[in-house]
Structure 1
Amino acid sequence: MDKVKVGRISYLNVLPIYYPLESGLIKNNFEFLYGPPAQLNKMMAEGLMHISSTSSIEYLRHSEQYKLLPDIAIGSRGPVQSVLMLSRKPVEELKGCKIIVSSQTHTSAALLHILLTEHIPVHPEYETGNATELLETGERPDAILTIGDEALNLRNHADYPYKFDLGEEWINWTGLPFIFGVWLVRRDAADKTQVKDAIRSLIKGKKWGQQNIERMSEITSEKSILSPKEMKSYFNGLVYDLGEKEVEGLKVFAKYLHKTGQISHIPELEFVNI
């Protein structure tokens, strides 16, 4: 094995994990493969990568193919700021209304469905679309679900005064963090020495990023409309660990995915041994 192939989603929220690895601050034997989540999921399924970050729902749907990396995730323990339903009316008034959902998200769309079925049962309709492009045409749907950089850019849109932060709603309802993304290793690569070394390097990268959030906030703000102070506030609301509370939150998510018919069974969570 020449290089360990690692899938890399190009969102700002994972920069604290990858920056020390991509910049050479932490030595590694990685070949990064960049792409949107759906493309990386496909490449992992086809065996073209060894490790990748992916949405938590992707793991819960295909756990037989993968093992979880320990102690690394992307989630929230309160307002997440970058997973928002923006609405023209209060959420309680969305019964039967149409919500435009970003095609880039599977976990967030599934979480919204759970929240608006089990937590605040308004049972709206959902339609996949590009919120930014739609708004640029002058259309103003009742509500839009946006994630990542798009959510950070649209969160103060004048025509959408009501913000429904999915991370905040989840913890208010369940008392647990919500895990949007996890890191996976293919089962057929999990025991390889180089892959285990790579996993340890990823965890080192995460810890470096957590210890250098000020620096990460300054670097990331250069690529965003947010100031360093706003970026720091954003990063401080995120979870990069996968400890007991985070694992419990992931299990509760799986329970509600099954209850709402979005997964066929509730899998056991299996971690790679490093």
Structure 2
Amino acid sequence: MTVRIGKIGYLNVLPIYHPIESGIIGHGFSIVSGPPSALNRLMDAGQLDISAASSIEYARHPEKYYLVPDIAIGSRGPVQSVLLLSRCPVEELHGQTIVVSAQTHTSAALLRVLLAEWQIEPTFVTGDATAMLSTGHRPQAILCIGDEALNLRFHPDYPVRTDLGEAWRNLTGLPFIFGVWIVQRTSFERNGPAIRQACAALLAAKCWGESNIAAMCALAAESSCLSQAEMCSYFDGLVYDLGPEEIAGMTLFYQRLAHNGFIDAVPALHFLP
């Protein structure tokens, strides 16, 4: 039975998936690409065996998943690709409308946590920021993630840029983990050896990508509006590990989510046995 693996369709995971898709790291699984929200739904429905997923997806259904050890996607400061773009200072957004991309779950939750900390209560609507801007519509603020954030981060109509990774680091002193790799528990029970082999390939690909990050920056720049130097700056701010400090940051995020009523309880972290 072929193992089905989900891939976030953003440049930030290129160092992990390029070695796999180019054949540098051998594998025998199938890859399904999509935005985080789509992969969350596929995992929740049991239609993928392993996937990159929003860290909040694990928090919502910890009984369904195992965490893959030693691999994540996050930042230890500015992340550059998760931005609140505003036409006014953030403290003036109380009662204003923020457009949130439908592609994100974790970033939207992080924004809610930060705004609660800052005692700001806006109204949230879901929408496509790029499409809105192309029609001339200018919402007061937009939350952008991934490649869209990289493309819109210097938009002249949005002079106030709040990097959510940087805001979290300033608030807590800890890294923020936007995405994790999770395994369906039922898939592991059915075919543990194949799942382990697939997870080993992901970890090997992560090691290869980190060791060849300059080449990954050059490759990513080919399909982006960013120069190679800008792309290297972007990748330099990313974290692909899930070590003690990253786990501490993720646990604190879950605690803040529970405190604000965004999840029912702080989940225990269960790694692939």
TM-score, with normalisation over the residues of structure 2?
0.97
Aligned with 1:125 (options 101, 123, 126): 123
1:207 alignment counterpart? 207
**In 1, Cα distance between equivalents of 2:99 and 2:253:** 22
2:148 alignment counterpart? 150
Question: Alignment identity in percent?
Answer: 56
CA displacement at 1:45 relative to structure 2: 2.4
Counterpart residue identity of residue 171, structure 2? W
Deviations 1:187-227, CA, capped at 9 Å, x for gaps: 12235111101101100101111111100000000110001
2:240 alignment counterpart? 240
Aligned length: 271
The answer on whether the counterparts of 2:4 and 2:32 sit within 8 Å (CA) in structure 1 is yes
1:71 alignment counterpart? 70
The within-5 A match list for 1:8-19 is: 8-19=7-18
**In 1, Cα distance between equivalents of 2:115 and 2:44:** 31
1:84 alignment counterpart? 83
2:250 alignment counterpart? 250
Deviations 1:251-273, CA, capped at 9 Å, x for gaps: 00000111111101111010003
Counterpart residue identity of residue 136, structure 1? S
1:112 alignment counterpart? 111
**In 1, Cα distance between equivalents of 2:49 and 2:32:** 11
**In 1, Cα distance between equivalents of 2:80 and 2:38:** 25
**In 1, Cα distance between equivalents of 2:84 and 2:271:** 32
Counterpart residue identity of residue 137, structure 1? T
Look up the SS of the partner of 1:217 in the other structure: helix
**In 1, Cα distance between equivalents of 2:20 and 2:60:** 29
**In 1, Cα distance between equivalents of 2:75 and 2:236:** 9
The answer on whether the counterparts of 2:258 and 2:265 sit within 8 Å (CA) in structure 1 is yes
Aligned with 1:164 (options 162, 165, 188): 162
**In 2, Cα distance between equivalents of 1:122 and 1:187:** 39
2:94 alignment counterpart? 95
Moved more, 188-197 or 13-22: 188-197
2:183 alignment counterpart? 185
**In 1, Cα distance between equivalents of 2:85 and 2:202:** 34
Counterpart residue identity of residue 159, structure 1? D
Counterpart residue identity of residue 221, structure 1? A
Root-mean-square deviation (Å): 1.0
2:259 alignment counterpart? 259
CA displacement at 1:8 relative to structure 2: 1.2
Counterpart residue identity of residue 46, structure 1? A
**In 1, Cα distance between equivalents of 2:141 and 2:38:** 27
Counterpart residue identity of residue 41, structure 2? K
Counterpart residue identity of residue 105, structure 1? T
Does residue 139 of the first structure (1) align with residue 137 of the second (2)?
yes
CA displacement at 1:71 relative to structure 2: 0.4
CA displacement at 1:26 relative to structure 2: 0.8
Does residue 26 of the first structure (1) align with residue 25 of the second (2)?
yes
Look up the SS of the partner of 2:63 in the other structure: helix
Look up the SS of the partner of 1:205 in the other structure: helix
Counterpart residue identity of residue 198, structure 1? A
**In 1, Cα distance between equivalents of 2:183 and 2:236:** 27
CA displacement at 1:90 relative to structure 2: 1.1
TM-score, with normalisation over the residues of structure 1?
0.97
**In 2, Cα distance between equivalents of 1:129 and 1:229:** 31
